Structure 1
């Protein structure tokens, strides 16, 4: 199917070549998706007010776009979905959060969110969190977003779904969730 696109956003301090990002990109390309796995070192470093316009200008979003974000990249999706000017097909927030999950500064978070705007800009939304996440991006964070946005909340026991000390080279669940 021509026109299907996916953008996979890495987490804080990450890059396109770690975790399950290359694996998922290849799986989606094999199914006909145009896939971007951009390197955004400013995720959760630069304040969202100046970082978000760069992301919006640097990518094309339409009704056939699938967005996947991990950790800080998932938090980025909240701001992106609030401010994008189309309704995308699907968003999957892996180890996402909407409030500070720990004592670290979180420049990727906005002070507040227009939850109605976010909901209106995505047809299908998933939140995947673990009960025990080493950074606090846990099932309670997922539940807080789910209660405001609806969608589907999936709770696993998979830590942070990939990190420097957690090999997570494949993520079969994501491959199954994306049509």
Structure 2
């Protein structure tokens, strides 16, 4: 089976920051075809108009692994709800399903079809920190885990990369991806 990974950066970021280039290299070395798109409209454009563009740019199937950080992780909920196939894995790093702070979050939907999301992924991981400065914390991870199952991993590791938190590699992700 053709193994493909699609890596989604966070709000205001791009594919060449934090651990994303490192993970891209690691997965490529392991034989994955890796896509790491740049979506400057992520979490600035309403998800209702942004999501169709994302869905049109990618193919999703049983060999696909999805990884998202922060706003990119929140985007994965909408992606998983709307695709018409089942992907292998989805890993949401510092993800959230409700407003984590007082900022606008156009990437979030008003509500989710949790059964559809669960039906479109074989294995789900939620990696959150108890000390996330943006509120993308373990309570957000727990909220998604309680609705979707999967595995919740809680760390004390900030936002898993940020302007003031260098995070050049992320060994845990490499181990989690089949």
For residue 114 of structure 2, what is the aligned residue in structure 1?
Answer: 115
Q: Give the Cα–Cα distance (whole angstroms) in 1 for the partners of residues 48 and 100 of structure 2.
A: 20
Q: Distance in 2 between matches of 1:39 and 1:165?
A: 21
Residue aligning to 1:92: 91
Quick one: distance in 1 between partners of 2:2 and 2:63? 7
| CA drift at 1:67 | 0.0
Number of residues of Structure 1 aligned to a counterpart in Structure 2: 178
Report the counterpart of residue 170 of structure 1 in structure 2: 169
Match of 1:140 in 2: 139
CA shift for structure 1 position 8: 0.3
Give the match for residue 48 of structure 1: 47
Task: Return the alpha-carbon distance in structure 2 between the equivalents of residues 41 and 5 of structure 1.
Answer: 22
Q: Return the alpha-carbon distance in structure 1 between the equivalents of residues 12 and 171 of structure 2.
A: 23
- The Cα shift of 1:150 comes to 0.1
**TM-score, normalised on structure 2?**
0.99
> Deviating runs (4+, > 2 A) in structure 1?
none
- Whole-angstrom CA distance in 2 between matches of 1:122 and 1:45: 26
| Secondary structure of the structure 2 residue equivalent to 1:124 | strand
Q: Could you say which residue in structure 2 is the equivalent of 1:153?
A: 152
In the other structure, the counterpart of 2:127 is: 128
Residue 59 in structure 1 maps to residue 74 in structure 2: no
Superposition deviation, residue 63 in structure 1: 0.7
Q: State the alpha-carbon separation in 2 of the partners of residues 84 and 169 from structure 1.
A: 31
SS in 1 for 2:136: coil
Q: What TM-score comes out, normalization by structure 1 length?
A: 0.99
Secondary structure, aligned partner of 2:154: strand
CA displacement at 1:6 relative to structure 2? 0.1
Unaligned 5+ segments in structure 1 are: none
Q: Supply the distance in 2 between the matched residues of 1:149 and 1:64 (Cα, whole angstroms).
A: 20
- CA separation in 2, counterparts of 1:59 and 1:41? 16
1:6-65 deviation line (CA, Å, top 9, x unaligned): 000000000010000000000000000000010001110000000000000011111100
